[in-house]
């Protein structure tokens, strides 16, 4: 009897939770903030300014019918007023020259504490600014605790700043480094990712281990390759296939065309390592391992993209960054190959290489990757 009552109460609570989720999210009740993003490209500055509807309502009564809600229609009707207010409260200058703001779009966005108007401006400076002077005056007269949280991006780097009642004017020196710097940074990031991401490294090694051997005619064992050329060609095919494949999915994912949930991707990557390692022990895939490298590289590309996305890259430089990152990953792989291949080639005739390195190594890699697979797929910690 008691248990049934408990169950009924649980159902009642569940119903409530569902309704609460369907219903409009309530206010977070944090102090007032606006979010200002300035992206400088040449002499042009893309401005995105997110201003809370509540704050706008406080100064200009957006809620025209006074029913306690702000509709898109009510906001749209006051578009010119909102834009004018924002333009009055934000000044962007390059030296002595003003960079006038031209409103381009009005949209909305949901932040953690409610809906914001998203104002877009195009600011055009007379010349490419060496430093930007930003003067922020929004809402301080009605709410001295208001903050303007700004992000300034000039292609070479991103800086953040907070405008407050006491600190309304700030100067941002433009970084002198341009695209070359950004490309360099992306390449370094790509190289670094190969060496810091142990799963990609193990995958690569699992694929490379048999490269100095060929399967015997009966497919039950391995024998060393006679010359270095076929081994090198084999490796180049594998590494390049992998790079081409992950470049494709990384680009698709970073450009927002196709995205996969990280748990799915990370589990898939772990599974691919297991597969590549087991294949060295029991042949599952055919001789041309480059096709497998290509297929699994597609999956790994999504994993790379998560790394890149974490950096919050500016959109207009994405192509440079993507290219640099892919080049970096390829270079990183080549480093691994350059160390691995000569060594493996030298010891390829030994029994130890086949028994310990290939069999033992593959089994170990498969084991480690299986643990990852379980951890990632079921979101639990084994070790």
Partner 1 sequence: MKRSYVVFGATGALIVVGAIFFRPPASADVPRLPADDAEILERLPMRSSDPRERERLRLHDALVAHPDDLGTALTLARLDIQLSRARSDPRYLGYAQAALGAWWELPSAPSDVLVLRATIRQSSHDFDGALADLDRVLAIDPDDAQAWITRSVVLAVRGRYEEAKASCQPLARLAPELVFTVCETSIDAVSGSAGPAYDRLSMSIRRSRRVSANEDADEREWASSTLGEIALRRGRDDDAESAFSAALAIDPDDAYVLAAYADLLIDRGRPAEAMKLVAGRTDNDGLLLRLALAEAKAHAPAAATHSEMLGARFEASHLRGDTVHRREEARFELELKGDARAALALARANWDVQREPWDVRVLLASAVAAGEPGTAAPALAFLDEHHLEDPRIRALAARLRGGAP
Contact positions with partner 1 (CB under 8 A) in 41-70: 48, 50, 53-55, 57-58, 61, 63, 66-70
When asked if residue 269 is in the footprint of partner 1 (CB under 8 A), the reply is no
Cα end-to-end distance, the chain, whole Å:
43
Return d(Cα 154, Cα 45) in angstroms, integer. 9
* Min dist. Cβ of residue 313 to partner 1 (A): 14
Near partner 1 by CB under 8 A: residue from 93, 116, 134, 246: 116
113 or 133, CB closer to partner 1? 113
The candidate with the shortest Cα–Cα distance to 54, out of 102, 106, 110, is 110
The verdict on 14 binding partner 1 (CB under 8 A) reads: yes
By CB under 8 A, name the one of 7, 84, 124, 142 that touches partner 1: 142
Binding to partner 1 (CB under 8 A): which residues in 297-356? 298-299
Task: Give the binding range for partner 1 (CB under 8 A) out of 17-25, 79-87, 190-198, 226-234.
Answer: 17-25
Distances (CA, A) of 281 to 180, 345, 349: 45, 19, 18
- How far apart are CB 347 and partner 1 at their closest, in Å? 29
Q: Which are the contacts of 323, defined by CB distance < 8 A and separation ≥ 6?
A: 183, 186
d(CA 269, CA 376): 10
Rule CB under 8 A: choose which of 7, 8, 27, 178 binds partner 1. 27
H or E stretch at 11 = helix 2-22
**8, 44, 76, 169: which one binds partner 1 (CB under 8 A):** 76
CB of 221 to partner 1, least distance (A): 19
Answer for which of 109, 131, 352, 371 binds partner 1 (CB under 8 A) is 109
Q: Give the closest residue to 32 by CA, choosing from 104, 86, 111, 127.
A: 111
Q: Is the dihedral of CA 293, 295, 301, 302 positive or negative?
A: negative
218: three-class secondary structure by DSSP: coil
User: Is the separation of the CB atoms in 248 and 301 below 8 Å?
Assistant: yes
Residue 375 touching partner 1 (CB under 8 A)? no
Please select the residue that binds partner 1; options are 86, 185, 277, 296, rule is CB under 8 A: 296
292 lies in the binding site for partner 1 (CB under 8 A): yes
Which range of residues in 5-13, 129-137, 182-190, 222-230 is near partner 1 by CB under 8 A? 5-13
Q: Which residues contact 87 (CB under 8 A, 6 or more apart)?
A: 101, 103, 121
CA 63/CA 24 separation, integer angstroms: 17
Does 20 interact with partner 1 (rule: CB under 8 A)?
A: yes
For partner 1, the closer of residues 108 and 255 by Cβ is 108
- Nearest in space to 47 (alpha carbons), one of 36, 31, 57, 60: 36
**DSSP letters of 213-233?**
EEE-TTSSSEEE-SSHHHHHH
- Minimum distance from CB of 270 to partner 1 (Å)? 13
- 379: contact with partner 1 by CB under 8 A: no
Calpha distance 320→324 (Å, rounded): 6
**Beta carbon of residue 147, minimum distance to partner 1 (angstroms, whole number):** 5
**Residue 35 touches partner 1, criterion: CB under 8 A:** yes
CA distance 74 to 61: 10
Report the residue number, 72 or 195, with the smaller CB distance to partner 1: 72
Q: Which of 2, 3, 4, 24 binds partner 1 (CB under 8 A)?
A: 24
CB-based contact 145:62 (threshold 8 Å)? no
214-253: contacts with partner 1 (CB under 8 A): 249
- How many Cα atoms are found within 13 Å in the side-chain-facing hemisphere of 257? 6
Counting contacts by CB under 8 A, is residue 264 touching partner 1?
yes
Asked if residue 81 binds partner 1 (CB under 8 A), the reply is no
Smallest gap from residue 358 Cβ to partner 1 (A): 20
């Amino acid at each position: 009897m008691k248990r049934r009552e408990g169950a009924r109460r649980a159902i009642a609570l569940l119903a409530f939770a569902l309704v609460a989720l369907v219903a409009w999210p309530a206010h977070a009740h944090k102090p007032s903030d606006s979010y200002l993003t300035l992206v400088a490209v040449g002499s042009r500055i893309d401005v995105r300014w997110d201003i809370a509807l509540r704050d706008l309502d406080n100064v200009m009564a957006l809620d025209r019918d006074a029913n306690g809600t702000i509709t898109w229609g009510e906001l749209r009707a006051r578009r010119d007023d909102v834009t004018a207010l924002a333009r009055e409260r934000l000044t962007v200058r390059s030296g002595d020259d003003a960079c006038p703001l031209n409103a381009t779009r009005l949209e909305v966005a949901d932040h953690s504490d409610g809906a914001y108007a998203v104002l877009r401006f195009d600011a055009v400076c007379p010349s490419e600014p060496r430093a930007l002077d930003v003067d922020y005056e929004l809402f301080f007269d009605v709410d001295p605790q208001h903050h303007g949280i700004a992000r300034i991006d000039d292609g070479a780097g991103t800086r953040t700043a907070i405008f407050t009642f006491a600190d309304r004017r700030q100067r941002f020196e433009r970084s002198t480094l341009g695209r070359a710097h950004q490309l360099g940074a992306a390449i370094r990031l790509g190289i670094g990712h190969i060496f810091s991401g142990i799963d990609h490294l193990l995958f690569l090694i699992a694929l490379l281990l048999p490269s100095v051997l060929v399967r015997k005619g009966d497919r039950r064992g391995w024998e060393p390759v006679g010359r270095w050329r076929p081994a090198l060609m084999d490796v180049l095919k594998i590494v390049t296939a992998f790079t081409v494949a992950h470049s494709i999915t990384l680009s698709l994912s970073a450009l927002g065309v196709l995205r996969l949930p990280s748990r799915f991707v990370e589990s898939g990557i772990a599974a691919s390592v297991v597969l590549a390692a087991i294949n060295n022990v029991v042949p599952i895939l055919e001789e041309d391992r480059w096709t497998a490298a290509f297929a699994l590289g597609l999956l790994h590309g999504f994993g790379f993209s998560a790394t890149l996305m974490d950096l919050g890259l500016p959109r207009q430089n994405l192509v440079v960054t993507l290219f640099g990152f892919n080049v970096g990953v390829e270079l990183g792989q080549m480093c691994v190959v350059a160390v691995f291949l000569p060594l493996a080639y030298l010891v390829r005739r030994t029994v130890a290489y086949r028994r310990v390195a290939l069999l033992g190594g593959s089994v170990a890699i498969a084991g480690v990757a299986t643990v990852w697979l379980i951890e990632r797929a079921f979101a639990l910690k084994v070790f």
